Structure 1
Amino acid sequence: MVKQAEVISLPESAEHHDHNHHQLVFGLEGATEFDIAGHTKPVGSGIGCLLPCATDHAFRGVGDNSIVVLNLAPINPDQLLQPRIDALFNQSRFIHCSSELQVLIAALSREMQKNPDDALLQSACSNAIVCALQRHLDQQLAGYHRVRLPGKINMDVIDNYITLHIERKIRVSELAGLVFLSSSQFFDRFRLQTGMTPQQYILNKRLKGAQDALTLTDDPLIEIAGRFGFTNQSALTRAFTQHLNISPARYRKSPPSAIQP
């Protein structure tokens, strides 16, 4: 029996198939590639594809990756959901998600991954994604999507992605892919726009998160280090002391309110 929703990783060896159900794929982490009718595109964070039933498609992973896959019957007993499914799967296509939709999909995917045997939760999360995506695409077609200044990076997208993945290493190429730039283009444009490199910006986010955790919780330093992407407690202490001129332990005892990374 085909699962309605699942979070999986794709192998690096290319495969292809079709199936008798609609399929909705979103990238969560890393990179994958999908080929639909001879058009090959990367599917990573913020990018997905809609595959109507009987659509032949090829796919492969690129290194470590994670995607969420929704499998939907062409005929749904829910009369309210059916028109949304019909509208989404009227053709195969690649799609780009807003930052708000990315956050929603990532959150619902985590719930589905944690509770793979909860059929009701799987169905509810899947339906929520379908409805949110259909509304998102309708707004784009109607011209309600936010207009961005030419050449300006959408920092909401960048900040949301960093927040979602703060516990692990974040590559410049991942951030560049979110705004459809090459790594070099993104690096130059980001530094011009923010006054710092992407990695400096990410480090500031990690340190700010660690500051808040030290102030608001009693969690041990080793746990805070892992939560905000530091390899160990020593790495947190070293970065914290170097950039804030105070150790995490001393900061916790008397956090200087004036210090902001």
Structure 2
Amino acid sequence: MSRVIRQIPLDTDTQHHAHDFHQIVIALEGSADFNIEGLGGSIESFSGCIVPANHLHYYTGTGNNRQLILDLPPDALALTGHHHELARLFDAPRFFTLDGSLRLYLEFLTAELALLDERNGRGDIDEERLATTLLGALHSRLTPGEISTGSHRRIDLHSLDRYIDDHLSSQLKVADLAAVACLSETRFTERFRMQTGLSPWQYVMRRRLEASRQLLQRSHLPLSEIAALTGFSHQSALSRAWRRAYGHPPSQLRRPDNTAIACGQASANVTLQS
């Protein structure tokens, strides 16, 4: 990566990849669609998405678009040392909208980058400074501190499970799950994490993996069809999720010697909650 902060248009043809660094994408002009390992959504002016490292994501720009992109390796200055708590932003993919204060900061950030380019050019420290301030503001809004849940109605997980299972092959959005719980997306995400210890994406991913495991054990369907039925964009996305959660590819479950599955499944619970 040559820069921490870039401003570029996204291709209007669907592209996909994964990379070993975290990424934040914020729409400056136009819009774009993202699917981050089964979590789908759109971004437009003053909204964005978080793409954790090593997460396969599909993206498509719409028309004349311009995106602000932050590329952050796990050992970036903005995520280590005194700022290590900011790494929690990348626990799971998510979509967000900038409030009024953050919109003003985004305008300042882009103006500051232009000013630095006009003068002697920007250095890594300049970009790290601007990125750290943005990450800190996002962190304070997207990862609120623990609060008492005694006065809050609990989310009906049984109803939510039914909805997820009925739409498992579809592109699920957090907004869809929030609507089932009759909550705003922000309130739902906060309450869901407090109730389950997981982000909505982590919870959906767990159900996708469990459904794929059941199909692998009880059917002879090809992996590509199992991937489609359980909401993975491609067979490679299914295999990637299995390796990250269980430590082996899904095809191993169909081998004669599959005794490692129990241990792998137990470790997946830890992986998905980290």
**TM-score calculated relative to the size of structure 1:** 0.50
Structure with greater helix percent: 2
Normalising to structure 2: TM-score of the pair?
0.48
